[in-house]
Structure 1
Amino acid sequence: IIDSGIHLLLISLGYRIELNQIPTAPIYTGYETLKSPMVGPLPQALVLTSIVIGVCVLSLAVALTINAYRHYGTLDVRALRRLRG
C-alpha cells in the first residue's frame, strides 16, 4: 500500500498545471509539442524503475519460498526454525 501511495505521489508531483492548457506526454514529435506544456518525465521514470525493483524483489521472495518448500516439504514457520544458525 505504501509503495502504491508513493507511486501516486510521484506521478502527481510531475503533473504541471498551466492556464487553460492540458499537459501532454513528454514525447517530442515536432515543433507543435513545444508550444504546449509537458508533464515531467523524471517522476514517470522513477515510478517505472520502482515498479521493476518491486517485481524483482517479489520474484526473489517467491524463488526463496519455492526452494524452502522443496527442501523441507513445508512452509510452516515452526518447522523452518532449523534455518537459524
Structure 2
Amino acid sequence: MNMSVSTAQDARKNLSEIISKAAFANEATVITRSGKNVAVVISYNDYERFCQLEDQLDGELAMARLAEGNKRKSWKDVKADNGLE
C-alpha cells in the first residue's frame, strides 16, 4: 500500500483527491496537525479488512482466555491489576 502525508489544512483543500487516491489507487493518506499524525484516510476495503483482523484477534484472545481455565479474581485484584485503586 502506498502512503502519503498531508497537513489538515492541505487535506481540506484536496479532500476529493485524497478520497480518490484511497478508493481507486489504494493509497492511504496520513493527516497531520501541528506536525503530529492525527488521522488516516484509507479505502473502505482496507477499513473492512482492518475490522475483520480486529475481530479475528479478539476471537483469538477470547480463546486464549478460555484455555487458561476458570481462574477467578476478586474485585479487589481486578481493580489493582487495572490501576483503579
**Structure with the higher helix share, 1 or 2:** 1
**Structure with the higher strand share, 1 or 2:** 2
Q: Which has the larger radius of gyration?
A: 1
Q: By the TM > 0.5 criterion, same fold?
A: no
Q: TM-score, normalised to structure 2's length?
A: 0.37
